[in-house]
Structures are given as structure tokens and as C-alpha cells.
Chains A and B, each alone.
Chain A
Amino acid sequence: MVVDASGRITLGDGSANLRKTIRQLLEETHTNIILNLADVDYIDSSGIGELVSAYTAVRSKGGELKLLHLTKKVHDLLQITKLFTVFEVYSDEPSAIRSFK
């Protein structure tokens, strides 16, 4: 399942929407999720927390959450918070999808 997110993942609606979407996907037993962040240009600490929370929620169901197309700001943010090593990050969709097979 590829989730295309757009906008800002920040305290408030942005984080809440992401949480809701991931929870819904897990309820529908989609556990292999690719989060496309190409259109997400801004994430704050609350958004980072939400990404981590999504990551652990998906893993606890035996699945994987992978990130696709990071913008520079998001990339830098994951880098300085050392989360770049935690998440599997892809820059093209086919290889992200292939990685699940």
C-alpha cells in the first residue's frame, strides 16, 4: 500500500491525519506500507514522533513502514535526529515496492 502524503506533518491536524490513516490501514490488515513524502515539505517534532509511532505500530503487526521520496528538509531532519538509519528510505517507487517481495 502506497500512501501519498502532502502538506505539513505537524502538531495538530497533520499528525492526526497520519495517525488515522496508518491506524485504518492496519485495521484493514495492510501491514506493508510505503509512505510517499514527496509533497511533505515540513515536519516538526510532533510529526517526527508520529512517523516513529507509525513505524513501531506497523512493525508490531509484523509489517514494514518504508519512506519514499524525502524532500531535502525532511531528509535533513531525519538525518540529524539519527532516524535516517532507522527508516528504510527509497527514492523511487518501483524499488520500494520490490523491496517487499
Chain B
Amino acid sequence: MPAVAISIPRRCRATTTNLRMGPVPTPYPPPNSSGMNTYENQGEGGAPSRTFSGSGSLFLAPSDLGEGCTRGNSSSYFSIASALLPRTTWVGGAIVNIRGVYPGRFCGTPGVEVASNLRRRSLRIPICFFRTNRELPTPNSRRAVFSLPPYFLTSLPSPPPPSAPLTAPLALCYPYNAAKIAQFRVVTSRMAPDTKHLEVTLETQVESVNLAEEMCLRLAEAAGFGEDECYRIGMSVREGVINAFHYGNKEKPEKKIHLAVDLTPEKMIIHVTDEGTGFVLKDVPDPLAEENLLSTSGRGIFLMRAFMDEFDVVKAQTGGAEIVMSKRLPNQDSPQANGSHGSAPHREA
């Protein structure tokens, strides 16, 4: 029997199983009393060449990768990136723009070199690689950035501190998708002081489905949901946006899809609103009924209901359908389901 292989685009996501931990060469001192860590970049010869400080993770833009290679670092991008890869404990959290880390020296920042030195010193310094649509300086650095395995950009086994801005995890996916997002805003303290609210207006296109899923996954990860729950939330958002894209907006490009997320101390609430004519939940056929089992569509609502704690569809002010669904945050007292112990630099007891 001959075999045939088909390839379907894979969007690799990190799990704790494919994050291998390397040894920590030298323990690095804990943050000082000001809450700021100062790390020294020792450069090639071992002599401290620069000192910089930051309170969170490191922001690395492609131009930084480029500079890192072209400015006298003997290692190639690839060897640096691969040296870093197994040791990345988590990404995300408070992103410190490297501009702030090296005041006034944005263009001269050798990002990979910096990251590589950080990693040699400690596993506990969060590093966040950043990929953008920005014009990349050289073909080499372009290759370097895009050669980074996707999971390098997505792994987040531990939640960032509660104080981390809600935008931090989203910032990872926003810039290189900016063209696909009509509007992006974060409103804090709108409803209650401890509720974070985020609104994104998405274009009616297939990519919005992936984008919305990815954004909510990052939020869910940052909020402390375990891997299984993240999968369920991501899938539900995906189905909600597919519903808005296909059934609500009828795939018309002039219409928009509105995604909103509220993160309260108890739960994550997701709203997906379309610009269609709305629908009544009880009119949706049951996909488990015998006569619908072999239907090729109509399982989205069912999956959202199955995967979320609360689910409802209401009439939006615009007349479209608004899907409202929520998931209770995991119990803060229980150990993390995703099992990445000791890798969260800012985790508070």
C-alpha cells in the first residue's frame, strides 16, 4: 500500500515537554531592593563592555539581531539562537523595550549577544524575542529572525506577575499583525479597578481567526490558565470568530469583527461581536442529533458551549450577534497544571 504525505501548515506551540532546561552556569543575584536587575554584558573578551538594567524581560527587535551579528560577534545567528533556545524558560511578562534598557542607543543594541549573555548567567531572566514587519536590515538578519522556531516566540509556561500590563503578551502578536487589525486598544479600570479590558477590531478575513485565537491564548496563558484550559479557550475564540466571519459577516470584507476580553480576578470573559443580523441560540440545530451527525458544519456553537464555563449569545447594539463566554480562572492555591516549576522570575506567592 503506497503512502502519501500531505503537509498542513503547523503552528507549533510550546509545551513543557519541548522546553529543555540547560544548566545554569552561574547563579545570578536576585533583584535588588529597587526591583530592578542590572545585568552586565561581558562582550567577547570577558571584560564588561556595557551595563544595562531593566525590570522585566528583554525586547529584541530584528534590527537588534542584525546588529548583534554584524558588530564583531564571532558566533553566527544560528548558533546563538540555538544556544538560547533550549534555555528559554519563558517569554512574555513585562516587556522592556531595549530602547529603555540602553538609553539613547537603540540602533546599536546587539540583541542576540545580550540575550545570549543573559542566558549564560541565569535561566531566570525572562527573554522575549520580538518579530515585526519592520524593514529588516540585512538578508542575514532576516534569515535569522525567521529561522527562529515558532515555539521560541510562543512559550509561556509560567504566568507573569499580576502587575504585568495586559498588553505585554499581546504585544508579541500585535505589531506583526498590525495591518490585519483595524483598531486596537486597551482600557484599564473601565469597569472595576481590578478588571482589565481589551478591545480589538478585526478585519473579516481568515487570518483574523488565527490572530484572535493567538491573542486570547496569550492572555489566557498570562492569566495563569494551564495548557488544557488554554487550548479550550483558544478553540472557543477560534470558533467564535469563525462564526462571526462566516455566518455573521458573511465573509464580507467591509464588515468588522469585534473581539473584547475582560480579565477580572475571577474569570476571563470573551465577547465576539459581528455585524450581521444576529441569531437565536435555540434555533441552532443540535450537531449531536442523529440526522446532523454527518453534517459538515454547525459544530462551532456546540464546541464553545462544551469548552467554556459560561456561554450565551445576545443581540449586539448594532443588531449583530454577540457571543459572550467565560472561563473561571484556575484556583490560585493549586499548583500550576503545566508543571514549570521555578522558572517564573516574578511569580508571587
Task: Please list the residues of chain A having a beta carbon within 8 angstroms of any beta carbon in chain B.
Answer: 1-14, 17-18, 21, 25, 40, 42, 44-46, 48-50, 52-53, 55-56, 73, 77, 80-83, 86, 97
Contact A11 B10 (CB under 8 A): no
Contacts of A45 in B (CB 8 A): 239, 242, 297, 299-300, 303
Contact B238 A8 (CB under 8 A): no
Contacts of A17 in B (CB 8 A): 6-8
Count, A-B residue pairs, CB within 8 A: 97
State which of B39-47, B75-83, B100-108, B288-296 sits at the interface with chain A: B288-296
Task: Please list the residues of chain B having a beta carbon within 8 angstroms of any beta carbon in chain A.
Answer: 1-11, 206, 209-210, 231, 235, 238-239, 242, 287-288, 293-297, 299-300, 302-303, 306
Give 10 new A-B contacts, CB below 8 A, not counting A1-B3, A3-B5, A77-B303: A1-B4, A2-B2, A7-B11, A8-B10, A11-B206, A12-B206, A17-B7, A40-B8, A46-B242, A81-B303
- The chain B residue with its CB closest to the CB of A5 is B6
Contact B8 A86 (CB under 8 A): no
Contacts of B1 in A (CB 8 A): 1-2, 97
Contact A13 B296 (CB under 8 A): no
Bound Cα distance from A8 to B245, whole angstroms: 19
Contact B8 A5 (CB under 8 A): yes
Task: Write 7 A-B pairs (CB below 8 A) sorted by A numbering.
Answer: A2-B3, A12-B209, A13-B9, A44-B235, A45-B300, A49-B295, A80-B303
